[in-house]
Amino acid sequence: MRYLFSILFICSLFSCSGVRVNYDYDKATSFSNYTSYNYFSDIESGLSELDEKRLMRALDSTLQAKGYLLAEEPDFFINILSNEYRSAPNNAVGVGVGGTGRNVGGGISVGLPLGNSGIQRQIQFDFVDAQKDELFWQASSESGFRENASPSVREERLRALVKKVFSKFPPEKK
């Protein structure tokens, strides 16, 4: 019985996921040419107004720590897109019962899902050159989301997301 609880505990640990990020960028872009940024004026992020403000504060502090300035006439614009979806539980335990004897066989198998299906939030960051009006860098993040989280928890989760997303910005030259 102790062994079963250990397995269930380990499975539940692995079912909690962090932030996953995918990056894409134009290899011909010289990121050293960009020093200032701003947001599109007609941004429709898909986030609540409060979460959008929290995300922009985290983004501002991260980019300014990297040496970028928020400006009225920037070198690039930032667009943010977000959506939420319910993911299916991806962990299950199979329980089976079977028997044979005298050329007779039978069996029953049941899959028991572990954990609840959770709400996932995908946030995409697009960086668009202000002069050329071309996308030059993009990051897409996926992470768990709790609708009933407190404001401080939401802010901390968004700060962690921004930190992870922008840990590889600007891309290193190879």
Q: What is the pLDDT of residue 138?
A: 95
Helix residue ranges per DSSP H, 45-169:
49-65, 151-165
pLDDT at 136: 94
Question: Pick the residue with more confidence: 66 or 151?
Answer: 66
- Residue whose token pair is 């910005």: 169
Q: What is the C-alpha radius of gyration for the chain, rounded to an integer number of angstroms?
A: 23
What pLDDT sits at residue 84? 77
Let me know if 130 is exposed, middle or buried by CB neighbors in 10 A (0-12, 13-18, 19+): middle
To the question of pTM greater than 0.85 for the whole model, the response is: no
Distance CA 60, CA 38 (A): 9
What span, in angstroms and rounded, lies between the C-alpha atoms of 47 and 169? Answer: 23
Query: Comparing C-alpha atoms, which of 56, 53, 21 is closest to residue 151?
Result: 53
- What pLDDT, on the 0 to 100 scale, is given for residue 13? 42
d(CA 68, CA 74): 10
Closest by CA to 38, choosing from 79, 74, 81, is 74
pLDDT digits 0-9 by tens, 153-170: 889 989 999 999 999 888
- Is the separation of the CB atoms in 85 and 119 below 8 Å? yes
Query: So what's the pLDDT on residue 80?
Result: 92
Instruction: Report pLDDT digits (tens) over 84-125.
Output: 777 665 555 555 555 666 665 555 665 655 555 577 888 999
Structural domains in the chain, sorted by start: 17-27+34-86+119-167 (3.30.160.670)
Tell the residue number behind the tokens 């901390």, with chain if given: 156
Contact status, residue 63 vs residue 37, Cβ threshold 8 Å: yes
* pLDDT at residue 15, rounded to an integer: 44
pLDDT value at 14 more than 70: no
pLDDT per position as a tens digit, 31-61: 999 999 999 988 888 888 998 999 999 999 9
